[in-house]
Amino acid sequence: MSDLEREAASFAVVDLGLVIEPAALAAARRSLDESGLLLLGEVHGVRENPLLIRSLMRAFGLGGLALEWDEDLMPAVSAFLAGEPLADHPLLWFGDGRITAGHLAVLRELAAAGPLSLGLFDGTIGADWDWSARDEAMAQRILAAPALEAGTLVVAGNAHTPTARSDLGLPLGAHLAGGWPGVREIRIRYGGGRFYNNEPRRFHRGTWRRPTRLHEEGGSLLLDLVPRPATFAPLDSFSWEAERYADSARVIKRRPGAAQAHRVFSSVFRSLPSDA
């Protein structure tokens, strides 16, 4: 059993007690009815992210989940969800926190509970692609997947989920909105704590102390995550991941076609604020 698989087996899959306010519930259901999609913008590397994914999948009865993971991982992840050992792959150790032991634990639970249509929509990028071109390619992979009656949750870093042009260019969400104008974005708003995204980081503490809740504010759908004791993992628990990330980064840079991707990802996340 690999270190990552061992951590996944010990990860506590718990209910975060998500409260969904009526206006937010109606807006999210409209997004699913009109587009079949609901976007979730996260900060990669937060321990609770997979638990929030689980909460939304269960709350809306969704049958599809699309993740910002490299599509080359699909054979390994599919085999893992079918009960086989997790095959090692350099892209499991990318280092920005989009793939964690918690994600694997939640995916296995969701797959065991019933049919799960899983899509991975990141992939190799061209040397001449800019940020918007990568997001367009990700959107095309999502749109090419069969539509599900139960709807699909699309999870990506929150720089990619806005449904309109941003300072970075035309994000994934805007490309999707071009084909499905009714699609909505939920943005996670973190109330504090520590996380690992290429390096140890910390959120500024928020001012709210209400339960974890999905609500509508100023026309936006916000999912407030309130830190609780022992909720955000101590940085020490990421130490083995950080070491493996560093080793894999060196391997990835030597792989044909992956060096450019690593440079783009690293530069993007270094240039964005900590909540992007």
The pTM assigned to this predicted structure is 0.83
Q: Is residue 196, in this structure, part of any structural domain at all?
A: no
Structurally, the chain folds into a number of domains equal to 1
In a domain, 28, yes or no: yes
**Confidence class for position 228, pLDDT limits 50, 70, 90:** low
- Return the exposure string of 180-189: e unless at least 16 CB atoms fall within 10 Å of the residue's CB, then b: beebbbbbbb
Residue numbers of the domain that contains 248: 3-123+130-191+205-268
User: What is d(CA 118, CA 107) in angstroms, rounded to the nearest whole number?
Assistant: 9
Q: How confident is the model at residue 221 (pLDDT cuts 50, 70, 90)?
A: very high
199 lies in a domain? no
Quick: pLDDT tens for 72-111: 999 999 999 999 999 999 999 888 999 999 999 999 999 9
- Which 8-state DSSP code applies to residue 93? G
Q: Is residue 274 part of a domain?
A: no
For residue 131, which of 110, 162, 95, 100 has the smallest C-alpha distance? 162
Asked if pLDDT for residue 223 goes beyond 70, the answer is yes
Q: In this structure, are residues 193 and 261 in contact, taking their beta carbons and an 8 Å threshold?
A: no
Q: What is the mean pLDDT of residues 224-243?
A: 48
**Residue 25, in any domain of the structure:** yes
Q: Is 246 a member of any domain?
A: yes
267 pLDDT above the threshold of 80:
no
- Within a domain: 273: no
* Burial of residue 57 (number of CB atoms within 10 Å: 0-12, 13-18, 19+): buried
Q: Is residue 7 part of a domain?
A: yes
Task: Indicate which CATH number applies to the domain containing 222.
Answer: 3.40.50
Residue 261 has pLDDT above 80, yes or no: no
Give CA angle at 198 (196, 200), nearest 5°: 40
**Angle between the N-to-C axes of helices 131-144 and 172-179, in degrees from 0 to 180, rounded to the nearest 10:** 40
Tell me the average pLDDT of the chain.
Answer: 83
For residues 236-261, give the mean pLDDT. 38
Model confidence over 119-158: pLDDT tens digits? 999 998 888 899 999 999 999 999 999 888 899 999 999 9
Tell me: pLDDT of 273 over 80: no
How many angstroms from the chain centroid is the CA of residue 262? 18
